[in-house]
Amino acid sequence: MRRAAIGSVLTAFVLCTISFNVGAQDASEKEIERYRAMISDPMSNPGFLAVDRGEILWSEKRGSKNASLEGCDLGLGAGKLEGAFAKLPRFFADADKVMDLEQRLLWCMQNVQGLDTKDVIARRFSGPGRASDMEDLVAFIANKSNGMKIDVQLGHPKEAEMAAVGEALFFRRGGVMDFACATCHAEEGKRIRLQGLPELSKAGKQAQETMGSWPTYRVSQGALRTMQHRLWDCYRQQRWPVPEYASDSLTALTVFLNKQALGGEINVPSIKR
């Protein structure tokens, strides 16, 4: 009887603890969402400073050809930005490959502007006292697709191939932790500390809301971040060898994730923790 009573007390304690933790997490998430809502206006969101800087970079003449990026074709014709981001990554015949936005911008810098992109790649992610042309350009271009639906192109054989490769990468386990993207993002209700993790293995709302909100201003980092940075950081945290910037593997993974998010509304730059 005594053991049974102790067992009942322990069970009650565990259940109360679980209930308290879930309640605390829910309360914290509500406060985080309230904070995001407070600074989501363009006049309050620091990510829009990157949009403004990117607009200047887009029209600035640089490189050996003294040309601006206004001659860059992002899929809808040279210089046409409205809706271009919504359809990326996509196949580009002039490069004979599927490219995401950052890959395409590097190609245009090299081929349209004649720019040595070594420094641009070295500053691919901003840090204290170190601006990033790529983050600013992505913010500006992506913002031109605000309110539009994710419409990644899958009709070309190479686009379909990249989607299949991206799916395989999503479920591929490896690294010293034997992790995959699916370890964190293929099951409902998973968290890291207070951060809810979206379920991305299924097409639908969670994938749409996730992919439609990048690039984003990361409050914890005090910087705007692109999907390239998000994927790079995910692999770093999984203890995989970090992927090369603008690699085909990251483009393939992005194609797959945008396929899962088809029809989702784009609203960028968003704000995340």
Contact 223, 273 (CB under 8 A): no
Mode of pairing for the β-strands spanning 270-272 and 216-218 = parallel
Point out the catalytic residue in the list 72, 181, 184, 234: 234
Q: 196 by DSSP, 3-state: which?
A: strand
The interaxial angle of helices 133-143 and 47-59, nearest 10 deg, is: 100
- CA gap 23, 31 in Å, rounded: 12
- CA gap 179, 182 in Å, rounded: 8
Contact 208, 200 (CB under 8 A): no
- Residue 234 annotated among the catalytic residues of the structure: yes
> How would you label 194-233 residue by residue, b for 16+ Cβ within 10 Å and e otherwise?
eeebbbbbeeeebbbebbbbbbbbbeeeebbbbbbbbbbe
One-letter amino acid for residue 75 of the chain: G
Contact 98, 91 (CB under 8 A): yes
Contact 206, 199 (CB under 8 A): yes
User: 241: which DSSP letter?
Assistant: P
Which active-site residues does the annotation give? 234
